[in-house]
């Protein structure tokens, strides 16, 4: 298998996934480096948006890849590698949430801190592309509102919304990742979107 592909961009095609898995199971360091290159950013993005906190996301991300490393021998291709890794990530997020102290910290302080930091970063990023600073500021504020609204969603709805709207997973993939029927995915997505729409509709409209 040629591992010399762009590690930061592409996801492996289904045909080559089996050989990647075989190399991972054989303990190839190159294969693990490739896996990290391909999946670390999407998984971090997923965890960060669901937890709403980058520093906690970093901890969870490490746990996720440790679990991936340990569990790869038991992966038999029942689902895609991506779905399997996302499922581990969701499971770790769930484990992470169980600590009452972490939950308390997340709800009180960290999200505000995260929002401002993200907003500033986003502002800086977009300032280079856009001439009008007012538009940049307005966009940053809108994103801040969206992130707050997303963070306020109950976790079961938030996970589905993030997987669908941000990670662009299909209903079937979301069902596999969360281990729920597709019908439940649809209903949770409907309710999650409706909650967001009610909260943001007037502001964004």
Partner 1 sequence: MFESCLEVRQLFSDYVDGQCDREASAAVRFHLRYCEACRAALDSLQAVRAELKLLPHRRVPEDLALRLRVQLSQRLHRNLLERLRVRIENAIEPLLVPASTAVLTAVICFGVLMASGSPPRANTPDVPLQLATPPRVEALAPIDFNTGDQGLTLLTHIDASGRVLDYKVLSGQPSPGLAQMMLFSLFHPATLFGKPTEGRIVLSLRRITVRG
Instruction: Establish if 115 lies at the interface with partner 1 (CB under 8 A).
Output: no
Which long-range CB contacts under 8 A does 23-27 form with residues at least 24 apart?
A: 24/72, 25/72, 25/73, 25/75
| Of 147, 148, 146, 126, the residue nearest 135 (C-alpha) | 126
Nearer to partner 1, 45 or 80 (CB): 45
DSSP string, 101-153: HHHHHIIIIIHHHHHHHHHHHHHHHHHTT-S-HHHHHHHHHHHHHHHHHHHHS
Instruction: Establish if 120 lies at the interface with partner 1 (CB under 8 A).
Output: no
Instruction: Establish if 189 lies at the interface with partner 1 (CB under 8 A).
Output: yes
Q: How many CB atoms lie within 10 A of CB 4?
A: 8
Cβ pair 143, 122 in contact under 8 A: yes
Q: Which of residues 31-90 bind partner 1 (CB under 8 A)?
A: 32-33, 36, 40-41, 44-45, 48-49, 54, 57-58, 61-62, 65-66, 69
Q: Which of residues 151-180 bind partner 1 (CB under 8 A)?
A: 161, 164-166, 171
By CB under 8 A, name the binding residues for partner 1: 27, 29, 32-33, 36, 40-41, 44-45, 48-49, 54, 57-58, 61-62, 65-66, 69, 118, 121-122, 125, 139, 142-143, 146-147, 150, 161, 164-166, 171, 186, 189-190, 193-194, 196-197, 200-202, 204-205
């Amino acid at each position: 298998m040629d591992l010399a592909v762009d590690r930061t961009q592409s996801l492996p095609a289904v045909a080559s996934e089996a050989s990647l898995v075989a190399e991972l199971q054989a303990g190839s360091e190159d294969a693990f480096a490739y896996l990290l290159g391909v999946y670390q950013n999407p998984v971090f993005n997923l965890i960060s948006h669901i937890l709403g906190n980058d520093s906690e996301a970093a901890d969870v991300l490490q746990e996720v890849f440790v679990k991936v490393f340990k569990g790869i021998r038991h992966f038999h291709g029942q689902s895609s590698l991506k779905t399997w890794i996302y499922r581990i990530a969701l499971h770790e997020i769930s484990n992470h949430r169980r600590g009452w102290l972490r939950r308390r910290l997340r709800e009180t302080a960290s999200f505000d801190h995260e929002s401002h930091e993200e907003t500033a970063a986003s502002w800086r990023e977009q300032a280079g592309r856009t001439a009008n600073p007012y538009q940049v500021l307005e966009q940053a504020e809108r994103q801040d509102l969206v992130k707050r609204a997303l963070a306020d969603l109950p976790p079961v709805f938030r996970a589905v919304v993030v997987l669908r709207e941000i990670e662009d997973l299909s209903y079937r993939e979301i069902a596999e990742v969360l281990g729920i029927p597709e019908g439940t995915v649809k209903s949770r997505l409907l309710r999650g979107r409706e909650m967001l729409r009610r909260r943001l509709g007037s502001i964004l409209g």
